[in-house]
Amino acid sequence: MNAANQTIYALSSGSLPAGVAVIRISGKQAMAAVESLVGSVPAPRHAVLKTIRTRNGLILDRGLVLTFAGPASFTGEDCAEIHVHGGKAVVASLLAEIATFEDCRLAEHGEFSRRALENGKMDLVEVEGLADLISAETEMQRRLAMEHAAGGLSDLYENWADRLTRARALIEAELDFADEDDVPGSVSDLVWADMERLHSELATHLSGADFGEIVRDGLRIVIAGPPNAGKSSLLNALAKREVAIVTDIAGTTRDVLHVDLNIEGYAVRLYDTAGLRETDEIVEREGIRRALKTVADADMVLSLAEIGEPAQTDFVGFTGKVFKLGTKADVHGTAPGDYDLLISSTSGAGLKELHQLIIKDLQDRSSSLSLALPSRLRHRVLLTESLGALSAAIESESLGLDIRAEQLRLSANSLGRITGRVDVEDLLDVIFSEFCIGK
Ligand SMILES: Nc1nc2c(ncn2[C@@H]2O[C@H](COP(=O)(O)OP(=O)(O)OP(=O)(O)O)[C@@H](O)[C@H]2O)c(=O)[nH]1
């Protein structure tokens, strides 16, 4: 039997041992498997406590059994969930028993979700949202993922794609009737006015991609500055543990280190880098090269200098915000200088304010309260394509209506590729490889 028609099963809950483990089965044999394990098939959507046995009558465990008759199930197929005690041997013996059933095999990464997509239960953005929801570690990541998984973004794209299709239909109708005398005035004016509005909505939405990606992937903050400025000490103070080696020897940090922080629900990746100075020492030079590369890829730079010394403001290849922090305030006090903030990693002075500064920066980046934002490079690329085709349609007034209508079709197609409405077969393997088994 072809793999897509086989019944799949997997442990869908977390690592063992655990209080409860959930084994999920989906496909044509799901109900037969349940019948073999517990002697009957409970009514769909009713949890029933059952004794679970092998076909030879050996009791495996007692647990809850739930069935979902397709298409009203997560995957759209017949599905079952068996909740057993989360012992390793319990789960292993149950999985081994299911493996003996006809046409049943262990699911691959994300295969349940893939079937849900293929059976029209979810679109691609919702599937991605679900993957993000499972891996969300901070509150904002969870909210963004939830918005996507619940269809917030998909609704927007479907609505825009429909508007583009309607506009095209009106233009094509105008083309068809162009020679007839009884066509009431041109529809073009209405169509193009709406397309201009759509263009501005799309452009605003696309401008939220930076923030969406920051919420999903974390804000990248790089601590930079000369040797001994206190960079590693600040990393440790913010991480609240000794991640980086701190000494009074200038040039201690050589490689790039990072810690992941959760700052008021936002994921933040904080990097410590080698001290920036002129040097001939080969390892240190490589460290500085890596430091500057990390700065160039950052979202924000904390440029440290011991109070009294100037903080660097320009970094090659970095165009974002640089915050100048004067360090070791416990020694130097509040000596004047050109700094955004004075801090001491030793006393903790200024660290709360630094948190506030990071939060304020994040809030400034979020142009709206909605989290219906693009959050992946894939979204950004396709939205840019869609916007480009729409611009071309609007701007090429000198070209024929048929050419402009074709641009509208391309614009809608790019939106359709985001939700998976338009050919995305080539993408699916990549997207589902990110999933865990059992999802
Ligand atoms: N008094 C005081 N000393 C500090 C403070 N922060 C760092 N230091 C000291 O300054 C020295 C250098 O600190 P590091 O954190 O290693 O500095 P760095 O910028 O990472 O140095 P490199 O690795 O050489 O680039 C150490 O002796 C720290 O204990 C502070 O807030 N107050």
Q: What is the pLDDT of residue 215?
A: 92
Q: How far apart are CA 321 and CA 358, in angstroms?
A: 11
Residues 172-182 as b or e (16 or more Cβ within 10 Å = b): eebeeeeeeee
How confident is residue 431, by pLDDT bands cut at 50, 70 and 90? low
Confidence of residue 402 (pLDDT cuts 50, 70, 90): confident
Report d(CA 139, CA 242) in Å as an integer: 25
Q: Residue whose CA is closest, atom 14 of ligand 1?
A: 230
What mean pLDDT is predicted for residues 192-210?
A: 94
pLDDT digits (tens, 9 = 90+) for 256-283: 999 999 998 999 999 999 888 888 888 8
Domain with CATH 1.20.120.430 in the chain: 130-214+376-420
Which CATH code for domain 7-122?
3.30.1360.120
pLDDT band at 248; cut points 50, 70, 90: confident
Superfamily for 130-214+376-420?
A: tRNA modification GTPase MnmE domain 2 (1.20.120.430)
Q: Which residue's C-alpha comes closest to atom 5 of ligand 1? A: 328
Q: Token pair of 131, please?
A: 């993957």
* Residue 4 clears pLDDT 80, i.e. is over it: no
Quickly tell me which residue has 């950004």 as its tokens. Answer: 380
What per-residue confidence (pLDDT) applies to 424? 59
234 Cα–ligand 1 center, Å: 8
Query: In this predicted model, what pLDDT tens digit does every residue of 26-84 receive, in sequence order?
Result: 999 999 999 999 999 999 999 999 999 999 999 999 999 999 999 999 999 999 999 99
Expressed in angstroms and rounded, the spacing between residue 361 Cα and the centre of ligand 1 is 26
Pinpoint the residues of the chain covered by CATH 3.30.1360.120. 7-122
pLDDT of 213 higher than 80: yes
Q: What global pTM score does this model have?
A: 0.82
Q: Which CATH class is domain 218-366?
A: alpha beta
Mutate to test the pocket of ligand 1, among 222, 228, 288, 295 (most ligand atoms within 8 A of CB): 228
Q: Is the dihedral of CA 237, 242, 243, 248 positive or negative?
A: positive
Return residue ranges of the chain for CATH 3.40.50.300.
218-366
